[in-house]
Structure 1
Amino acid sequence: MPSDPPRRPERGHADDAEVDAGVTDEGVYVVDTRRSRSRRPAPPPDRPTPDERSPHKASGGDPDDEVYVVDTRRKQSQPRRPAAAAPAPGERHTSPAVDGPPRTRIRKGRVVLLTVVLVVVAWLAFMVWVPVNAWNSVARVDNIPAGARPADTSGHNYLLVGSDSRAGLTKAQRKEYATGNAEGQRTDTIMLVHVSESGGKPVMVSIPRDSYVPIPGYGSNKINASFSLGGPKLLTRTVEQVTGIHVDGYLEIGLGGFAAVVDSLGGVDICVPRNMTDKKAGIDLKKGCQTLDGKDALGYVRSRYEDPLGDIGRAARQRQFLGALMKQAATPATVLVPWRYKGFADAVAGGLAVGEGTSLMDAVRILRAMRSVSNDEGLSLSVPIESMAYPTSNAGVAVKWDTDRAKALFRALKNDEPLTAPPPGTTVKD
């Protein structure tokens, strides 16, 4: 008769008799550590004591005789993970759960940061390259007068000239812009732009083209004649002599160039003060705020026969429009659109002529001054006038300055006195 199988210890405890290590039905290992006290070796130094191991004691027996129960059952909510593949020879072992995601996030973050930096650097380089490249293509003219000149003082003073030369205009453009076919060169616009270094506001001073002044070597005549007789050089010398101010730079733009600049911006917003119809200027504008294209903008700044203030009213409109032009050029719609930004710079360069000693920084100062005027952060003035119908023996009816007030204005600019309000007699109401 076969013998009964060995009795398996009940789960959770052991008999007093010694039992071998075994496995219960539910994966619980029972390890009997009971040994004779005389044969029990001292525990190694790094082995935890029974108290530290927190054993589960089997019932019965000597308290020093302990049976450890090790539960190897795995929780159902934590499925067994497959063993990771051994790394190839020479390959560093990494743990995907710990090393992978953070390293991936860091790598992606660096790529994004590098991309942003490169885009910003490229954009800044483009913003700098466009005006520099355009400036290198600008025509140069000799405007430096010969002989003695006024002393160069604090502040920066620039001569801004609008030429009515038809050079470069096609027959169709002359008809469209209503410029006629007059030959030679004259000035529709003469402005003195002052940029202070003493904290004063930028100042734009219109000099009426019919101003009756002495022209070196030609006697007294309308100041416009100096440009016709001797070009930029004689005009600069005349302005320096009559104002006592040293001219630091010279900018000139023609009719076609002006219209092209306006069109490159998609037009310029301007508030027309009244209904304006002038066949000689080619305009028929209604009162109110509107966007003027190149053709209408050119007529708006050139018209004078329908203006009750004549040349003085025209000079005021020119300052108004130049300020609005620069305000439009500085909008995000222009600066942040690459092709419009470059188109504007190229249009300006194509219609501009600058003096030999005029730098790109000088041009930037002029443009900033014009923008300040449009934002009411600068002063828009005219030379004080005594008579708008001054009879002359050689030039017909001309404009005569108020000598005392004009000298006071130019002295303040020469000495770079910080002007914060228009001096008396220098503003014109339309």
Structure 2
Amino acid sequence: MNQRRGVQNVDFQDRYERGYAAPRPDGMRGMEPQGPMVPPQQGGGVPYDSGRPRPRRGRRIRRLLISVLVLLLLVVGGTYFWIDSNLRKEVDLGKVVDRPGGGEGTNYLIVGSDSREGMSKQQEKDLHTGAAEGKRTDSMMILHVGAGDSTLISLPRDSNVNIPTFRGSESGRMQPAMGANKLNAAYAFDGPQLLTRTVEYNTGLRIDHYAEIGFAGFANVVDAMGGVDMNLDKGFQDKWSGADFQAGEQTLDGKQALAYVRTRHAFTGSDLDRTKNQQKFLSTLSNQAASPSTALNPFKLYPLMGAGLDTLVVDKDMNPYQLGRMFLAMKDVNSGQGKSMNMPISGSVGGNLAWDMPKVKQLVNELRSDDPVTVTSDR
């Protein structure tokens, strides 16, 4: 065995294989284990120390997923509070007196009014709305949402109903009953609260939430979507609403959509035919608004929500969750997972439409129990 300056001559290859470092040139000890070593490669490559901890790919993926989840929660939470803070919660259903008991599911009273709020004279002319003062109901629907399929029921504005005693929305004082009248007269007399009181009194069904949109808001929502695709069974014209449609598939802009849902003089059935068109359009609108191409595209979704929130009036207990549930239920009705119908009619009284009360009672019982609706409307 040879010695040089007190250091044994050792087999360096053996040291590499055993995982020890070579002696240091200055004679100091450098024999501590360094982990398995790879001999230098030809060409002077540096040995790779395989004992070093490798980056943990799974940890990076988990951190990325957590970051994405946190960002998503912030966006969803921010959107929720933005919608909630911009909802016009102007209707206090707590002031409605003598209310019927609640049942299963949730009942929405959805109203389209002829409010011209925020419209210029030119817009009133372009949209064929006229310039009448005040507000009236142009359409009224009850939407029932429960554990099963949703049901959308149109209430013709010429329905013959009794307007009962009520608490004035402004005075807060009890007002006497107004007797037999058209349903839309209730809204004209004292607004959403009296309309809700009248619907509850004549049906026995408790209304949980109220949502109303005016002419301008309706047209703006349609335009924000880029139009609504409709397939019309037949063409029709109506100089009062400005309707001028051909049969077949077409995309309606805000002006055309408003004319479509307001048309009544072009139909022999007048108000009943119009309510069917309103149901068809609103369900189609909800279906397209909830489609992935809109709901997952912030450049379409946020302008759409902004356009609707500007003129959407709701009750004080409405929140974004309930509002979203309402639109998704209308989407289901359009896709065939629900039922749409007119309130059952049995004839007329003084030119107004008389409800078929035995059928109405059966319908209300089915809705209150959240049972499948078996009642049909003959018109």
Which deviations, in whole Å up to 9, do the C-alpha atoms of 1:164-209 show, x marking residues without a partner?
1112211121111110111111101111111124xx3111110000
TM-score w.r.t. structure 2 length? 0.80
The equivalent residue for 1:410 is: 364
Match of 2:124 in 1: 174
Give per-residue Cα distances to partners, 1:330-374, cap 9 Å, x unaligned: 112112211211111111211200012333332222112101101
- Aligned twin of 1:50: none
Please say if residues 287 and 328 of structure 2, whose CA atoms lie closer than 8 Å, have aligned partners that are also in contact: no
Using the TM superposition, give the Cα deviation of residue 386 of structure 1 relative to its aligned residue in structure 2, in angstroms. 1.5
> Residues 124 and 328 from structure 1, CA distance in 2 versus in 1: closer, same or farther, beyond 3 angstroms?
farther
| Paired amino acid for 2:54 | R
Matched residues in 2 for 1:270 and 1:189: separation? 19
Q: Name the amino acid aligned to 2:375.
A: P
CA distance in structure 2 between the partners assigned to 1:143 and 1:289 by the alignment: 41
Q: How does 1:115-154 map to 2 (within 5 A)?
A: 115=64, 117-144=66-93, 145-154=95-104
User: Structure 1 residue 163 and structure 2 residue 113: aligned?
Assistant: yes
Distance 2:183 2:41 in 1: 97
**SS of match in other structure, 2:336:** coil
**Cα distance between partner residues in 2 of 1:276 and 1:115:** 56
Q: Alignment identity in percent? A: 37
Distance 1:339 1:99 in 2: 51
The match for 1:87 is none
**Deviation for aligned residue 1:313:** 0.8
- How many Å apart are 1:152 and its aligned residue? 1.4
Out of 329, 333, 343, the position equivalent to 1:383 is: 343
* Cross-structure match for 1:48: none
- Which whole-Å CA distance do the structure 2 matches of 1:399 and 1:298 have between them? 24
User: Taking structure 1 as reference, are residues 120 and 224 closer, same or farther at Cα in structure 2, changes over 3 Å only?
Assistant: same
Distance 2:219 2:153 in 1: 23
Q: Is the contact between residue 244 and residue 414 of structure 1 (CA under 8 Å) also seen in structure 2?
A: no
Larger radius of gyration: 1
Contact 1:191 / 1:205 at 8 angstroms: preserved in 2? yes
Which string of whole-angstrom CA distances, capped at 9 and with x for unpartnered residues, describes residues 37-66 of structure 1? xxxxxxxxxxxxxxxxxxxxxxxxxxxxxx
Cα drift, residue 81 of structure 1: 5.4
Q: 1:112 to 1:153 in 2, by over 3 A?
A: closer
For the residues of structure 2 that align with 1:189 and 1:383, how far apart are their CA atoms?
Answer: 13
Q: 1:234 aligns to what? A: 194
More relative contact order in 1 or in 2 (CA 8 Å, sep 6+)? Answer: 2
Structure 1 residue 221 displacement after superposition: 0.4
Partner of 1:103, secondary structure, is coil
1:348 maps to a residue whose letter is: G
1:108-149 alpha-carbon deviations (Å, 9 max, x no partner): x65565445433542453244324312311112234244321
What amino acid is aligned across from residue 152 of structure 2 in structure 1? M
Does 2:143 align with 1:189? no
1:401 and 2:355 matched: yes
Aligned to 1:82: 44
Structure-1 separation of matches of 2:275 and 2:41: 88
| Cα distance change, pair 99–353 in 1 and its aligned pair in 2 (3 A) | farther
User: CA distance change for structure 1 residues 131 and 310 in 2, over 3 Å: closer, same or farther?
Assistant: farther
**Aligned counterparts, 1:13-412, within 5 A:** 80=42, 82=44, 84=46, 96=48, 98=50, 103=54, 106=56, 110-111=59-60, 114-115=63-64, 117-144=66-93, 145-197=95-147, 200-216=148-164, 217-387=177-347, 390-392=348-350, 397-412=351-366
Q: Is the Cα–Cα contact under 8 Å of residues 345 and 355 in structure 2 kept in the other structure?
A: yes
For 2:328 and 2:199, locate their aligned partners in 1 and report how far apart those are by CA, in whole Å: 22
CA RMSD in angstroms comes to 2.3
Paired with 1:258 and 1:344, the residues of 2 have a C-alpha distance of 11
- Structure 1: stretches of 5+ with no match in the other structure: 1-19, 22-77, 85-94
Q: State whether residues 212 and 221 of structure 1, in contact with CA within 8 Å, keep that contact through their aligned partners in structure 2.
A: yes
Query: What is the one-letter code of the residue matched to 1:351?
Result: T
List, as ranges, runs of 4+ consecutive aligned residues in structure 1 with deviation greater than 3 Å. 78-84, 109-117
Cα shift readout 1:11-54 (whole Å, capped 9, x = no counterpart)? xxxxxxxxx99xxxxxxxxxxxxxxxxxxxxxxxxxxxxxxxxx
SS of the residue aligned with 1:357?
coil
Q: Which residue of 2 aligns with 1:31?
A: none
Q: Which amino acid aligns with 2:274?
A: R
Gaps spanning 5+ residues in structure 2: where? 3-39, 165-176
Measured in 2, the distance between the counterparts of 1:195 and 1:79 equals 74
Q: 1:173 to 1:219 in 2, by over 3 A?
A: same
TM-score, L = length of structure 1: 0.71
Deviation at 1:391, TM superposition (A): 4.6
Distance 1:172 1:155 in 2: 43
